[in-house]
Amino acid sequence: MTIFAQDAKGRFQWFVNLQSIWASQDLVGKTDADVFDAESVAAFQRAKERAGDGGTRQTVELSPRTEIIPMGAQCHLKVSVEPLTGANGAIEGYLCSSMDTTLEKQREATLKTLLLEVSHRSKNMLAMVLGLSAQTARSARSIDGFLRAFTGRVQSLSKSQDVITDSDWRGARFRELVDHQVINVVQLGGARIEVSGDDPNLRPNAGLHIGLALHELVTNALVHGALVQTGGNVKIRCEVIHSKSEPPVARITWHERSAAQPSPTHNETSFGKTMLERIVPRAVDGSGTLELRPDGVVYTLTVAGTQFH
């Protein structure tokens, strides 16, 4: 807290606690216009007039001019104003005390930014859920089938969101997504799933969509593919490819290996195939291909360098 006095014309007369950043210079003799910005000057004047008219303390928020603050830092003050009267009752000046509220203002601004970001992300998530609901309903053959597929996809979003939240919204490591979406849902997952290659940090949007792709692949493998067969396994590889003339890209490969011919569950009109070859690649500015080979399913997804770091 800094305590200071002004005369009736608004000139600073004395200060107590000059360690306060805004009062570190010699301000004695200066006026409000010398010290505060134009908006604060007008607000301070109104507060002094109200204090003088009613004889009561007034509180006002003021911002010193940037040239008053060392290194041009920002400063915000909450100032209390009381009138000083002489023996005849006339106002001779004002006694003021100020509290530095800069950190509080910065916290409020940060909180506001975070709330706006949460609102933005929440709307995006709701839009994704609505899209999943509509597309899943179009391809579902029964209500039970819709509920199973839709619930699984929403749970996939939740798992990816947990990874992103744990990183303070910086993104999601590729291998963390594989752990949450694949290995943790497969019995003896560590023995049947082989993960190799690079581990890029995916941006939040890319993390959510790649998580959905992994969910679609592992669900199909557990119901119709290699993971429903004895001895079947999956190899997952992520490789970041650098080029002298082109931006880097990440290439993710899912390769199921099984003894039997895979069931063609991802037909041309299925939502799973649409998600893997169109929706997810579009979201990560890349491309996706799904192949049914004699030895299993192979899915390849490229991810633009703007989607990871």
Whether residue 240 is found in the same domain as residue 269: yes
- Which of 53, 81, 100 terminates a domain? The answer is 100
Q: How many domains does the chain have?
A: 2
Whether residue 129 is found in the same domain as residue 242: yes
Is pLDDT above 70 for 55?
Answer: yes
Domain carrying residue 193: 106-307
Mean pLDDT of 250-270: 73
- pLDDT at residue number 292: 87
- Which of 77, 100, 123 terminates a domain? The answer is 100
Left if phi > 0, otherwise alpha if psi is -120 to 50, otherwise beta: which for 271? Answer: alpha
Whether residue 7 is found in the same domain as residue 21: yes
Report pLDDT digits (tens) over 73-94: 788 999 999 999 888 888 999 9
Whether residue 92 is found in the same domain as residue 118: no
Domain containing residue 204: CATH number = 3.30.565.10
pLDDT tier, 25 (very low <50, low <70, confident <90, very high otherwise)? confident
pTM for this entry: 0.72
- pLDDT at residue number 269: 56
Q: Which residues contact 158 (CB under 8 A, 6 or more apart)?
A: none
pLDDT tier, 190 (very low <50, low <70, confident <90, very high otherwise)? confident
Whether residue 276 is found in the same domain as residue 211: yes
Whether residue 79 is found in the same domain as residue 208: no
Q: Which residue from 126, 123, 136, 130 is spatially nearest to 275, judged by alpha carbons?
A: 136
Report pLDDT digits (tens) over 222-236: 988 899 888 889 999
Mean pLDDT of 109-114: 90
Is pLDDT above 70 for 120?
Answer: yes
- Which of 71, 100, 129 terminates a domain? The answer is 100
Whether residue 58 is found in the same domain as residue 113: no
pLDDT tier, 168 (very low <50, low <70, confident <90, very high otherwise)? confident
pLDDT above 70 coverage of the chain, percent: 95
Domain containing residue 49: CATH number = 3.30.450.20
- pLDDT at residue number 89: 83
Mean pLDDT of 148-176: 94
- pLDDT at residue number 260: 63
For residue 153, what are the CA distances in angstroms to 5, 201, 282, 297? 66, 22, 18, 20
Q: Which residues contact 61 (CB under 8 A, 6 or more apart)?
A: 40, 43, 76, 77, 78, 79, 101
Q: Helix 204-223 to helix 102-139 angle, to the nearest 10 degrees?
A: 30
Is pLDDT above 80 for 145?
Answer: yes
Is pLDDT above 90 for 169?
Answer: no
Mean pLDDT of 3-18: 90
For the chain, what is the mean pLDDT? 90
Higher pLDDT, 67 or 252: 252
Mean pLDDT of 186-208: 93
Whether residue 55 is found in the same domain as residue 169: no
Whether residue 133 is found in the same domain as residue 231: yes
Whether residue 145 is found in the same domain as residue 194: yes
Is pLDDT above 80 for 216?
Answer: yes
Whether residue 87 is found in the same domain as residue 193: no
Least confident of 95-104, 209-218, 265-274: 265-274
